[in-house]
Chain A
Amino acid sequence: MLFVRKILLVAFIRDMRRNAGLAIVLAVSSASFSQATIQHARVELLAGQASVKPGSDLQLGVHFILEKGWHIYWINPGDSGQPPSFEWQLPPKFTAGEVQWPRPERLQPSKELVDFGYSDEVLLPLTMHVPSTVGNTRQLEFGVQVKWLVCREVCIPEHANLHLTLPVSSAERADHQHAQLFANTDKLIPKSLPRAWNASVTSAKNDFVLTILAGGKPITQAEFFPRDSAQIDNAAPQKFQQTSHGAKIALKKSDLLVKPITVLRGVLVIAGGPPYRIEAPVRQPIQ
């Protein structure tokens, strides 16, 4: 019974199309499980641990389970759309880390437009640093206001206020129900390139050519997702070329790119491999 936590989740949703207000209040008093069913999505605030240990790191995450055909967006949404945003209400002296965005999927609303986002389900996790003293309290409450845009052919802005209460404990306890979800999500979060690898970019007239040196091994297939908007043409086919030491990918420049860039940031997804974070210096063309 030590593990029993009270989880209260309140979601307030406004249907923009009908201009009608609808409030859903859901209270669950059991293990770490909270959810709200909202138009086209179920949204939960989850913890990777069953309790909060002072002086440690706590994994929290907002979990979206989307209705078939509907999607939400990555931090760079691509040609249209908007990424979810989070406003945290935390106990004193807690600090929220940055949301770790799993690798996105390519979404194509029409042949000339490409967006980046998630369908089916996604956990957007972040790490909270727990102060070494949390005061004389047996439980702590975490809150977040999440705003997101959910789209199929049409888009609907939504928001929900999610709350989660966790007991304080000097021992660290994994939440068996959700630890697996956090672990699976971690595999989708881009990591630094291996030490022996290297990424660099040459700026050609119409393309950025991203060269990956993969420790002397060829890469058979890979896709690049730009972190920043208005640099590459999202819908243009990426010209992939395997090399003996890795790969080269030619990325068409965006019509909206008017100034030279010094760094190309993004995510490289290698077929059958983990996603990598790219921050490649850009060499300007030789005049």
Chain B
Amino acid sequence: MNHRQPFILWACALLALIASAFAVKVGEPAPGFTAVDSNGKQERLSDYKGKFIVLEWHNQGCPYTRKHYESGNMQRLQKEWTAKGVVWLTVISSAPGTQGFVTPTQENDYLKTMNAAPTAVLMDPGGSLGRLYAAKTTPHMFIVDPGGTLIYNGAIDDHPTSDQRDIAKSKNYVSAALEQALGGKPVTEAATRPYGCSVKYKD
């Protein structure tokens, strides 16, 4: 019994260390990862060092994701910002058997149908990338700067609804952050509550 307690304490300390190492905080280095995209290509965060990177958590069946795709809002953002040299990585963390899980072929068909234009779509059915970033909702948006620092974590905009009609009157946090960051200014709204469906992690 006497031997067990120090072990438990040590294990707790180690867990705490792991948890804190995985914290995704604005102003801190964005955690590195390797993932496979919908074309079977390996994608590493470090491949894009020197560029701004947007991470967009996605679930094509979620009403909040549909708000931004069926209105064309997300595609517009993807085209606008990739044209300015920003890398846009869509991430799908839905586990097999849950809403939003798709095969690479299904995802590529969806991109074509929706006229979507991310740089790549990362397939994360095991949820490890989602958990690494503590992605909570679809959509949940992150921005990494060219030095690898996280500069935005949160919602796509300031209207946490599934109603397309709200988009016109919304302030888009991702565009606002990218405009400031590309202009060499600090991001004024760098962390907001993401809104949407829960990410469908495998338990």
B146 within 8 Å of A (CB atoms)? no
Contact flags B132-147 to A (C-beta < 8 A → 1, else 0):
0010110000000000
Residue from the list A153, A155, A206, A229 in contact with B193, Cβ < 8 A? A229
Listed stretches A26-34, A255-263, A279-287; interface member: A255-263
Pair B199/A113 contact, Cβ less than 8 Å = yes
The answer, among B25, B66, B201, for a CB contact under 8 Å with A112, is B201
Q: A146 interface residue, CB < 8 Å from B?
A: no
With known contacts A110-B198, A110-B201, A153–B25 Cβ distance under 8 A: no
**Is B162 a contact of A149 with CB atoms below 8 Å?**
yes
Closest to B23 in A: A255
Q: Is the CB of B136 within 8 A of A113?
A: yes
Q: Chain B residues near A112: list those with CB within 8 A.
A: 131, 134, 136, 201
Structural contact, A157 and B193, CB atoms closer than 8 A: no
Residues A16 and B191 in contact in the complex (CB < 8 Å), given A112-B201, A113-B136, A256-B154: no
Q: How far is the CB of A86 from chain B (nearest CB, A)?
A: 14
Chain A residues with CB below 8 A from B203, complex form? 110-111
| A255/B137 contact (C-beta < 8 A), A155-B62, A157-B162 known | no
| B149 in the interface (beta carbon within 8 A) | no
Answer whether residue A186 sits at the interface, using C-beta atoms and an 8 A cutoff.
Answer: no
Residues of B within 8 A of A153 (CB): 98-99, 200
Q: How many interface contacts (CB-CB < 8 Å) are there between A and B?
A: 75
Min CB–CB distance A13 → chain B (angstroms):
14
Residue contact A113 to B198, C-beta cutoff 8 Å? yes
B153: contacting residue among A17, A151, A154, A255, CB under 8 A = A255
User: Which A residues are in CB contact (< 8 Å) with B153?
Assistant: 255-256
Provide the residues of chain B in CB contact with A168, threshold 8 Å. Answer: none
Q: Would you call the interface of chain B mostly helix, strand, loop, or mixed?
A: loop
Closest residue on chain A to residue B27 by CB atoms: A258
Q: How far is the CA of A156 from the CA of B99 in the complex (A)?
A: 12
The residues of A that contact B163 with a CB separation of less than 8 Å are 157
Residues of B within 8 A of A151 (CB): 197
Interface residues on A, range: 20 to 34
Contact partners of A156 in chain B: CB under 8 A:
63
Docked-complex contact B193 and A256, CB < 8 angstroms: yes
**Interfacial chain A residues near B23, Cβ < 8 Å:** 255
> For the complex, is A44 an interface residue (Cβ under 8 Å from B)?
no
> CA–CA, A153 to B94, complex, Å?
11
Please provide the chain A residues from 90 to 127 with a CB less than 8 Å away from any CB of chain B in the complex.
Answer: 109-113, 115
Are B136 and A230 in contact, CB atoms less than 8 angstroms apart? no
Quick check: is A82 within 8 A (CB to CB) of the other chain? yes
B154-203 residues at the A interface, CB under 8 angstroms: 154, 160-163, 190-193, 195-201, 203
Q: A230 touching B193 by the CB < 8 A rule?
A: yes
Tell me which of B63, B98, B134, B160 contacts A155 (CB under 8 A).
Answer: B63
- Chain B residues 23 to 54 lying within 8 A of chain A, measured CB to CB, are 23-27
The smallest beta-carbon distance between B186 and chain A, in angstroms, is: 12
Interface of A is mostly: loop
A174 to B71 alpha-carbon distance, docked (Å): 48
Is the C-beta of B61 less than 8 angstroms from some C-beta in chain A? yes
A79 within 8 A of B: yes
Return A260 CB to nearest CB of chain B, in Å.
13
Task: Give A113's nearest chain B residue, CB to CB.
Answer: B198
State whether A82 touches B198 (Cβ < 8 A).
no
Most buried by B among A111, A149, A153, A256: A256
Which residue on chain A has the smallest CB distance to residue B154?
A256
The answer to whether A79 and B63 have CB atoms under 8 Å apart is no
Q: Chain A residues with Cβ under 8 A from B161's Cβ? A: 82
Note all chain A residues with C-beta closer than 8 A to B199. 80, 110, 113
Most buried by B among A16, A80, A115, A156: A80
- Asked if residues B198 and A258 are in contact (CB atoms below 8 Å), the reply is no
Which of B27, B137, B160, B162 lies in contact with A79, CB distance below 8 A?
B137
> Nearest residue in B to A233 (C-beta to C-beta)?
B134
Asked if A257 contacts B198 (CB within 8 A), the reply is no
Binding site for A on B (CB under 8 A): 20, 23-27, 61-63, 66, 98-99, 131, 134, 136-137, 153-154, 160-163, 190-193, 195-201, 203
Listed by A's residue number, 10 A-B pairs whose Cβ atoms lie within 8 Å are A80-B196, A81-B198, A112-B134, A113-B198, A154-B62, A154-B99, A230-B192, A255-B23, A255-B134, A256-B192
Q: A109-B198, A110-B200, A258-B27 are in contact. List 12 more A-B contacts (CB 8 A).
A: A17-B61, A79-B137, A80-B136, A80-B196, A80-B199, A110-B198, A110-B203, A154-B62, A155-B63, A157-B162, A255-B153, A258-B191
